[in-house]
């Protein structure tokens, strides 16, 4: 039996120091700073939130890491990649403007903010580390870095039981080419032409070119759909709707593959995973969010992204439901009897994410890390 991975954890309250002070202590306890060499280019990888999101990661988490690694001579930069869907972060300039609006600037970070795939969706292909990709295009700035601290915001997600370290690595460290490959396994939205109001917004949004103008309504070519789902949220007439019976297992597998390839570009001990279990929303930070789904779970740190995600998942089922949030509303409705809110809080929010399959089959099959972990409390 494989040895359990270590996950360091601290609560989100101020007992024993502020959350930022606790993060500093945990990073020191991991020994990570001793793995860095003077001059190491170090990527601080995190999601800087989409336009309209008010519950994403705050800039001070990245600044805290940057200040610590600079003390040992590393050269940090804060980074993420552009998105497949066409909102504020779909281009390098758009992302920099969005990041600045959310407080992520060179001045506030004390180091550069760099969009890893640059102006032209640039990356280097990594081969020989995956089961499903023939080769994975890792965003260039991440590929070139000598070390990385990956900071994931723990949330629920329509495609995964948990949006955490694995998704932050797999989708967040790769180019659009990889993102399209990962999303192509998702089910296209359902389309009802009679509801189309001819706003044509979907035509401009679709990265796959699946929509064209017809006589009074769009024509939807499902074979060109990459499954990103962006059109659903912007359809003014409600002609596009999710197919809630979609099977995301292949997308989950390919995302694990991409994460493994991104990690393969670094030496042993050069990547540290951080999970922030605060303001845990129903969806990830790629869109506007309402009230959290569960209460804060704390700060998690590990060298193993699988162990980190599993520890965050377990804590998400130990804390109380957030008062008035989506799970609390379900718990106090006639739907409550359908669900096991003690052991699975993802399925009531997103019926097709398959937590048991994800943890028992997909993640172990990936070889990305160890589901078994030892929690070391600060």
- Band of residue 325 on the pLDDT scale cut at 50, 70, 90: very high
pLDDT digits (tens, 9 = 90+) for 121-168: 999 999 988 888 889 999 999 999 999 999 999 999 999 999 999 999
What is the rounded average pLDDT of the residues 84-98? 92
Of 241, 265, 282, the position where a domain reaches its end is: 241
Average pLDDT over the chain, rounded to an integer: 94
> What confidence tier does 188 reach under pLDDT thresholds 50, 70, 90?
confident
Contact predicate 375/10, CB 8 Å = no
Q: And the tokens for 190? A: 């359902």
Tell whether 177 and 308 lie within a shared domain.
yes
Task: Answer whether residue 63 is part of any domain.
Answer: yes
Q: How many domains does the chain have?
A: 2
Q: Is residue 187 predicted with pLDDT exceeding 80? A: no
> Do 93 and 210 lie in a common domain?
no
Three-state DSSP class for residue 53: coil
In terms of domains, do 201 and 347 share one? Answer: no
The DSSP annotation for 124-139 comes to EEEESS-SS-SEEEEE
Supply the pLDDT for residue 229.
Answer: 74
Rounded Cα–Cα distance for residues 17 and 12 (Å)? 10
CA distance 101 to 120: 23
| Residue (of 169, 182, 177, 179) closest to 45 by Cα position | 169
Predicted local confidence at residue 87, as pLDDT:
84
For residues 362 and 306, the answer to whether their CB atoms sit within 8 Å is no
* Separation of alpha carbons 302 and 275, rounded Å: 9
**CA–CA separation, 226 and 175 (whole Å):** 15
Angle at 231 between CA 230 and CA 236, to 5 degrees: 130
* Strand, helix or coil for residue 9: strand
Q: What range defines the domain where residue 285 resides? A: 5-182+256-377
pLDDT for 301 beyond 80: yes
Report the DSSP pairing between strands 271-277 and 298-302: antiparallel
Does 198 or 85 have the greater pLDDT score? 198
Question: 237 and 312, same structural domain?
Answer: no
Which of 103, 148, 95, 100 lies closest to 121 in space, CA to CA? Answer: 95
Q: Is there a domain that residue 193 lies in? A: yes
Whether residue 245 has pLDDT greater than 70: no
Residue 250 lies in a domain: no
More confident residue, 230 or 87: 87
Kindly state the percentage of the chain with pLDDT values over 90: 82
Residue 195 covered by a domain: yes
Residues 220 and 315 in one domain: no
Dist. CA 181–CA 86, nearest whole Å: 17
Which CATH number belongs to the domain containing residue 78 in this structure?
3.40.50
In a domain, 249, yes or no: no
Please identify which residue in the block is written with the tokens 């600079």. 70
- Residue 180's pLDDT is what? 82
Q: What is the DSSP code string of 93-111?
A: HHHHHHHHHTT-SHHHHTS
Q: How confident is the model at residue 312 (pLDDT cuts 50, 70, 90)?
A: very high
Mean pLDDT of 188-213: 93
Is 220 in the same domain as 290? no
């Amino acid at each position: 039996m494989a040895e359990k991975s270590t996950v360091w954890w601290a609560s989100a309250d101020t007992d024993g120091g502020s959350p930022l002070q606790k993060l500093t202590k945990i990073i020191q306890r991991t020994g990570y700073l001793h793995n860095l060499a003077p001059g190491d280019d170090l990527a601080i990888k995190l999601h800087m939130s989409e336009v309209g999101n008010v519950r994403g990661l705050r800039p001070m988490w990245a600044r805290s890491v940057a200040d610590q690694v600079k003390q040992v001579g590393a050269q940090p930069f804060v980074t993420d990649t552009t998105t497949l869907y066409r909102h504020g972060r779909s281009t390098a300039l758009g992302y920099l403007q969005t990041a600045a609006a959310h407080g992520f600037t060179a001045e506030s970070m004390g180091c550069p903010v760099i969009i890893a795939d640059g102006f032209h969706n640039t990356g280097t292909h990594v081969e020989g580390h995956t089961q499903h990709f023939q080769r994975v295009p890792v965003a260039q700035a991440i590929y070139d870095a000598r070390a990385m601290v990956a900071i994931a915001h723990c949330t629920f997600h329509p495609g995964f039981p948990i949006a955490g370290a694995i998704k932050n690595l797999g989708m967040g460290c790769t180019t659009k080419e990889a993102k399209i490959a990962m999303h192509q396994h998702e089910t296209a939205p359902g389309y009802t032409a009679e509801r189309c109001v001819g706003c044509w917004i979907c035509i401009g949004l679709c990265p796959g070119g699946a929509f064209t103008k017809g006589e009074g309504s769009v024509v939807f070519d499902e074979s060109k759909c990459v499954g990103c789902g962006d059109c659903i949220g912007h359809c003014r007439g409600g002609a596009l709707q999710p197919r809630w019976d979609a099977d995301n297992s292949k997308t989950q597998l390919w995302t694990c593959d991409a994460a493994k390839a991104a990690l393969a570009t670094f030496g042993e001990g050069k990547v540290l995973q951080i999970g922030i279990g605060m303001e845990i929303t129903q969806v990830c930070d790629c869109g506007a969010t309402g009230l959290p789904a569960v209460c804060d779970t704390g700060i998690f740190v590990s060298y193993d992204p699988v162990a980190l995600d599993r520890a965050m998942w377990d804590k998400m089922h130990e804390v109380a439901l957030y008062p008035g949030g989506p799970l609390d509303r379900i718990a106090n409705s006639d739907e409550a009897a359908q669900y096991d809110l003690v052991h699975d809080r993802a399925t009531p929010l997103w019926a097709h994410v398959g937590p048991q399959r994800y943890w028992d089959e997909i993640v172990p099959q990936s070889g990305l890390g160890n589901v078994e972990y030892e929690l070391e409390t600060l």
